[in-house]
Structure 1
Amino acid sequence: MTTTHPPQSTPTTPSSHFDAAARDWDQRPMSQQLAAVPPLLLAHLPLSPTDQVLDFGAGTGLLATQIAPKVAHVTALDMSAAMLQVLDEKGVANITTHHGDIFDGLPGRYHAIVSCMALHHVADTAALMRAFAAALHPGGRIALVDLYAEDGSFHGDNAAKGVQHLGFAPEALQAQAEQAGLQGIVFTGILHMQHRNGQSYPLFLMTGHKP
């Protein structure tokens, strides 16, 4: 008899890689480059002081800590308890960490869902878009950052790091988002990551909303 398992959120392999790296995560050269993402994302995401926001694959709080001053509350969701512990220790009063899988349910509904470099760790992105749509209030927005399609060299050891997609073709993600009921999907190139291998990897910002 074949047993089927539900799709897993970030990451799809055991989170030992992320747990082991958590303490030094913010000091990594790639993390320091990604520190440019929050203001670029926020320029495309209208927020209100009363908003509840979900940060999917929040890690140590790259996005959550920058969004928190602008909203009522941020729920930081991640599969790595060690990454979330680092975020907790930053002591931001209106950030609540949530250790778990989005497909196991969420503690609330949200006016916005944000994410940075987590989508490529999720095998079933169509199911993820449906989960996002279900978790949003009417009128709620998404602002998701990830890699355009790449040759597999960005992470290097893709299997060990739980990589499920070598970046994305925008039209494929747009179709999945629209099938999930999201509208107004727009892709904007926002950053080029300079890798130690000498290559440059472009990142997109995917925005849209729930009717």
Structure 2
Amino acid sequence: MTNESQALAEAHFAQAAEGFEHSPISKQLAALSDQVFALLQLNKNQRWLDFGAGTGALSVPLAEHVGQVTALDTSAAMLAKLIDKNVPNITALEQDIFNGLSECYEGVISSMALHHVADIAGLLSCMHQCLGENGQLALVDLYSEDGSFHGDNAAKGVVHLGFDPQQLLELAAAAGFKDLSYREIFNIKHKNGRSYPLFVLLGRA
């Protein structure tokens, strides 16, 4: 992402943070967590990283199932909304994952954040490096679409118009992940009248 597009994305998320959880799409995505968690092995001894955590749509429900959640995001405004929720076992971390993480986790999860990251191969490598042996991976995003989901993609920091999950799986394998699979998990009903399917990619370090 160029400096200009990064600045546009930061401005977008700063402005969007206030009403983010009340948007029709965010309300639909709130139902996603249970479906994803059912595919994972979760326990109270685990530490998980939520990449692109935003206001905590995944971090908050995940915190009920695991010991500790690190909510990672580059948007201070989004994380401020999460911090206001005062969930004791969630740590908000305003940082770029490419700068390196000091902790090791039992799992990495993400929802609707990958399409904002230009270097997907590098991102997957970073995720693999911060996972312990057999650490779990769960990534949710859009199937390839025509750009109509976000509309003004550049202003919203969108650098991928969804993904071909098979290609994403191959990148994950190259990063060192194993036991990889993907499946359609959700459909978002958009205000434009269309329905956009989401997939979840699962794997282990």
Normalised by the length of structure 2, the TM-score is 0.96
1:43 matched to which residue of 2?
38
Structure 2 spans left out of the alignment, 5+ residues: none
Name the aligned partner's letter for residue 154 of structure 1. Answer: F
User: Hey, what's the Cα distance between the residues in 1 that align with 2:185 and 2:167?
Assistant: 19
1:89-111: CA deviations, max 9, x gaps?
Answer: 00100000000100011130100
List structure 1 runs of 4+ shifted beyond 2 angstroms: 11-14
2:111 matched to which residue of 1?
116
User: Hey, what's the Cα distance between the residues in 2 that align with 1:12 and 1:127?
Assistant: 17
1:128 matched to which residue of 2?
123
1:4 matched to which residue of 2?
none
2:80 matched to which residue of 1?
85
1:3 matched to which residue of 2?
none
Structure 1 spans left out of the alignment, 5+ residues: 1-6
User: Hey, what's the Cα distance between the residues in 1 that align with 2:99 and 2:49?
Assistant: 15
How big is the shift at 1:73? 0.4
**Helix, strand or coil at the partner of 2:19:** helix
How big is the shift at 1:135? 0.5
RMSD: 1.3
Name the aligned partner's letter for residue 176 of structure 2. Answer: G
Count matched residues.
Answer: 202
**Helix, strand or coil at the partner of 1:59:** coil
Contact in 2 for aligned 1:12/1:122 (Cα 8 Å): no
Contact in 2 for aligned 1:188/1:204 (Cα 8 Å): yes
**Helix, strand or coil at the partner of 1:155:** coil
1:3-39: CA deviations, max 9, x gaps?
Answer: xxxx79xx94441101111111110001001011100
User: Hey, what's the Cα distance between the residues in 1 that align with 2:109 and 2:102?
Assistant: 16
Contact in 2 for aligned 1:116/1:145 (Cα 8 Å): yes
Report the identity percentage.
Answer: 49
Normalised by the length of structure 1, the TM-score is 0.93
